[in-house]
Amino acid sequence: MSKKYNVAVVGATGAVGAEMLSTLEERNFPFNDIRPLASERSEGLTVKVKGNSYKVQKLTEQSFDGIDFALFSAGAGRSLEFAPHAVKAGAIVIDNSSAFRMDKDVPLVVPEVNPEALKKHKGIIANPNCSTIQMVVALKPLHDYARIKRIVVSTYQSVSGSGHKAVTELAEQTNKLLTLQEITPKVYSQQIAFNCIPHIDVFLQNGYTKEEMKMENETKKIMDDDSIKVTATTVRVPVFYSHSESVNLEFAKEISPDKARELLSAFSGVVVQDKPVEDLYPMAINAAGRDEVFVGRIRQDFSVKHGLNMWIVSDNIRKGAALNAVQIAEKMI
């Protein structure tokens, strides 16, 4: 009989935590026991995995005895406080927050892109930002072939990236606008319904947001190439699930759109949808609930010597968070 593992999910009642539990079930992860952990507000609630019910326990320093893998999805503060206790108890931590991503001693991993980095872990493995994950999955085979010199990315990010409350806010605001009622933003600083907000996370002194700098810094670390120049503009859009990205690439050598399609079609985790004359291209509504990264609108950028443009779409809760974390655990097994 193959070995089975005890898995803790921290933040089990949140959007990403719930998706982690679903993903463990759907992928038949070889778990022996599931330990859902959350704040005292959720203590005593029940979650179901493979037909079995598990009571949500309050997260404490002693929550990780006997745990093999601890999947964290409760925010950077919780990760900084409790991940060391999980490691001390003998668990491998796979953390979805920003807490450890740029720590030189913590590998930042997308399994399709840099699985070799897992060998360097010291108990904690970081899950990258959702918008970074889907981009690097699509860029990896192209970088290996022609070396990317520069990336210009603009994102169109769904409200689910901000959690359940943001999904509810978009639905409520949409209803109020259609029924001519006044709205008061709560989750976001601005109205999100029928609007685009060029503001994700906090603004920094350099004029960029934290989200934009995450894309720059994390991409270089995952691709293990500090020479890649990255600039990003991240935008919140009135879409419930799935992030979309317009990506412009400059390469060191020639790469045609046909060659890019060939490389991407052969790469694990990528689906090429690129027949615009037939109205076939990636869209958020079709990517929602799917595991793959969808790529289309691949075309030459005639403004530079070796340039391509492309459109990348993926479910930010699935591949952008829960699935990537579970895939890391699978790789570790």
Catalytic residue numbers? 130, 243
Q: Which amino acid is at 237?
A: V
What span, in angstroms and rounded, lies between the C-alpha atoms of 4 and 168? Answer: 37
Q: 309 has which bridge partners? A: 248, 299
Beta partners for residue 93, in sequence order: 70, 124
Query: CB–CB of 287/245 below 8 Å?
Result: no
Phi then psi dihedrals of residue 39, to 5 deg: -75, 170
Mapping DSSP onto H, E and C, the string for 190-226 reads CCCCCCCECCCCCECCCCCEHHHHHHHHHHHHHHCCC
d(C-alpha 197, C-alpha 63), whole Å: 39
Tokens of 282: 């990636």
Cβ count within 10 A of residue 41: 10
Could you give the 3-state DSSP secondary structure of residue 107?
coil
Find how far residue 81's CA is from the centre of its chain.
22
Find all residues with CB under 8 Å of 280, minimum gap 6, and list them: 273, 274, 296
Distance CA 20, CA 72 (A): 10
